[in-house]
Structure 1
């Protein structure tokens, strides 16, 4: 196969590499661009099998048989081909990705050879790889943001009504001092205390005062999930890891990377989950459910429980080694009954939050009401106080809140759910207190309630309302 002089001038001028092959696959023409790209001089290759020089191996180094070569196949079947997934090898042993065509050359309807035109697509491949990596990063970020958004929305919904840690009592001052001492460290903290004392508020204060304050605080209630679901919640799962896992999901450990993970009710973890948690604490790494790939994380761990973990260890319900890992710096939150001096400040802060939530303008509670609060035992602690004040705030019509003498039945209704008769009783008591238990007359409770005095007295007898 020969090239006319005028054609050779054109082929020498183009930027693409050009090879001409005879029917045996030997090079009969090589242009300057091909020499420049491959590092081979034409004198070194003319008359030789180019496949052995440029196409002998795949990109991974595995052997590339000549019979699989598209150029070789064009020599045998006369069909043109276009390839974008191969590499050519240079004289120095390096390779570069190529896009090339192999076109049959005919004379008098007879196949006499093949022309291969190729170009180096290294920059194109790098651009494609960069775009692919950028897309993967965008997808990963989108997934992370979607997961965090879902988590944060649920967190906001679950913490509506929370107030700051309030109190000037010696016990609360001790808690505040402990928080300041440990906040700026990475030490694990174990918060103990009865339900409703504000253990999660302690965890949030620890996070806000730490060097990780600009990173997420991720909470998980260990008592809210079955053992199988808890593992997925903590460590995440891959798509198809179990029935219902329709997409990949990041777990709380992954979301808390570089931030703080708060494990509430940690005593509720199964022994199997305790073992996995211990390994994560030791190695700062875990695998998603359905994956063998290890994910490294940097987290500050805070745990909380209302149980006596020492007793749980003695009972065989909690691993001793995990207990020691968690109990690096213990903080005990006292029950409300042991810090009744904090009631005025607590009430003030809670009412400020309730006013925002309900659109009220309640300025405080009466002195008698405060005495009633101080005389009560508070089995539900600060959370019970919040619920009680919100309940009476809903019923209140003035700026000063009036509370009756408290009994366990009246104060421990779950989450503000009252029977109609109970709500009516509470409202009548509140109005009677406001009017100093005067029933009749223009300045009496019956007139304020829109009832005849006899009807009000009848309701009081029916509901068991008596002046203390």
Structure 2
């Protein structure tokens, strides 16, 4: 380009050169070959390149030679150079300029063509360092994500707590002086001080959830949440979403991301009620989480780690389910670290007076009554009943009678024409487990290790199987 043309571009800038030198944005004036003919002080300050070093040279090779990841940025692709060639103005974001010291900074810039007599003679580029803006945007985005996460957490916890409040419960089930209850409470107190997994066994209505809540309340996690999941209340597909949560759009109706019960219970306790109702598929997924303490939300790929204490409960005979291949033996071993059996009410009838008084006190508040006691005649009748529905049935009977009475002493005639059906277990859990292991050993010709060994068939480490055999007094016959 001739001197005359250079002078024309300078003349284009001359009228406002004082202003251009004063502004905070960097400004380059280029000729049609992309050579620098004007550089303001702000551009020098941002890049570290002085006017003396750049004037008359192609500035692309100095400050625009590479992308932010270090890959080469060909001059033919340079937006500034292209404007000097094709006359098309551009507004560019997402690129970097390189400083003289080898570092780079994010920029936004615009390019404007310079014409003389409708003839393209060069271009002007105006750029600014957006590092601080990006940092602010990142901070705002991070703050927004934190707010969204907290909002989501609060929303989930609020929903959960509302559900919990809707299910009234009383500590009455843990009242009693019978030897069998004292023994159970002693076990509860011991295991509560640990993080061990607890399996609570007992019939419907015996107060298994109350035992779980008591374990949590006595534990180091008492100031964190105890989250309950009723495994029988969901289909296998819905249970997975309920346990692990889901991402927005993971399935039809998933309008927003939702945290599952495992996330809500982080640093706290997860109570899996009616664990025996889980499908085999759900059992497998639960086993993985129990082993790894990590999972992914439905429809997501991010691995989420949690620190939770598991308490499970069931009224089912898990050993019989294992024998019929409807419950995984490896999951059973994972859950059955410390079993606690809640006795049925018929085995602790001496506790009925204390239980009745505790239930009456709770129901007084609920019903707006002021009943102080129950008559001896009514108590005697209650203590001679077998209570197939256990404490829940006792609560229902007392609530019905309290609604009907207007006296301060509860006095009623409890007529029962229903014979209690008392399930009788033919074998204990230990007996069924021993028989299952023995049958497998015989089928494997008493081979324990290897691909065809009993340990492999049972899904157990060899050391664990040998330990169980020793504990159950199982040995190979001579």
Q: Name the TM tier (shorter chain).
A: 0.7 to 0.9
Render the CA deviation track for 1:19-63: whole Å, top value 9, x for unaligned.
111110111122232222112233322222222222233334444
The aligned counterpart of 1:399 is 408
Specify which of 329, 338, 343 is matched with residue 347 of structure 2. Answer: 338
Alignment partner of 1:26 is 2:35: yes
Specify which of 50, 55, 72 is matched with residue 81 of structure 2. Answer: 72
Q: Which structure 2 residues correspond to residues 35-434 of structure 1 after superposition, within 5 A? A: 35-160=44-169, 163=172, 165-409=174-418
Residues 223 and 269 in structure 1, CA contact (< 8 A), matched pair in contact too: yes
Q: Which moved more, 1:329-338 or 1:152-161?
A: 152-161
Residues 193 and 199 in structure 1, CA contact (< 8 A), matched pair in contact too: yes
> How much has 1:313 moved relative to structure 2?
1.7
The aligned counterpart of 2:25 is 16
Render the CA deviation track for 1:261-320: whole Å, top value 9, x for unaligned.
000111111111111111111110111222232111111000011122222222222111
Q: Hey, what's the Cα distance between the residues in 2 that align with 1:70 and 1:29? A: 18
> How much has 1:150 moved relative to structure 2?
1.2
Q: Hey, what's the Cα distance between the residues in 2 that align with 1:134 and 1:93? A: 32
Residues 33 and 85 in structure 2, CA contact (< 8 A), matched pair in contact too: no
Render the CA deviation track for 1:337-357: whole Å, top value 9, x for unaligned.
111121122111111111111
The aligned counterpart of 1:462 is none
> How much has 1:329 moved relative to structure 2?
1.1
- 3-state SS of 1:342 partner: helix
- Give the structure-2-normalised TM-score: 0.81
Render the CA deviation track for 1:108-149: whole Å, top value 9, x for unaligned.
554322221222111111001110111112112212211221
Residues 272 and 312 in structure 2, CA contact (< 8 A), matched pair in contact too: yes
- For structure 2, the residue ranges without an aligned partner over 5 or more in a row are 1-5, 422-478
How many aligned residue pairs are there?
412
- 3-state SS of 1:47 partner: coil
Residues 245 and 298 in structure 2, CA contact (< 8 A), matched pair in contact too: yes
- 3-state SS of 2:174 partner: coil
- 3-state SS of 1:113 partner: strand
Residues 369 and 403 in structure 1, CA contact (< 8 A), matched pair in contact too: yes
Residues 99 and 119 in structure 1, CA contact (< 8 A), matched pair in contact too: yes
> How much has 1:334 moved relative to structure 2?
0.8
Q: Hey, what's the Cα distance between the residues in 1 that align with 2:188 and 2:223? A: 18
> How much has 1:328 moved relative to structure 2?
0.9
Residues 240 and 246 in structure 1, CA contact (< 8 A), matched pair in contact too: yes
- Give the structure-1-normalised TM-score: 0.83
Distance 1:314 1:411, change over 3 A: closer
Residues 97 and 105 in structure 2, CA contact (< 8 A), matched pair in contact too: yes
Residues 98 and 118 in structure 1, CA contact (< 8 A), matched pair in contact too: yes
Please give the root-mean-square deviation of Cα atoms over the aligned residues, in Å. Answer: 2.2
Residues 246 and 300 in structure 2, CA contact (< 8 A), matched pair in contact too: yes
Render the CA deviation track for 1:142-177: whole Å, top value 9, x for unaligned.
122112211111111123556462112222111221
Residues 85 and 122 in structure 2, CA contact (< 8 A), matched pair in contact too: no
Residues 376 and 406 in structure 1, CA contact (< 8 A), matched pair in contact too: no
Residues 262 and 270 in structure 2, CA contact (< 8 A), matched pair in contact too: yes
Residues 85 and 98 in structure 1, CA contact (< 8 A), matched pair in contact too: yes
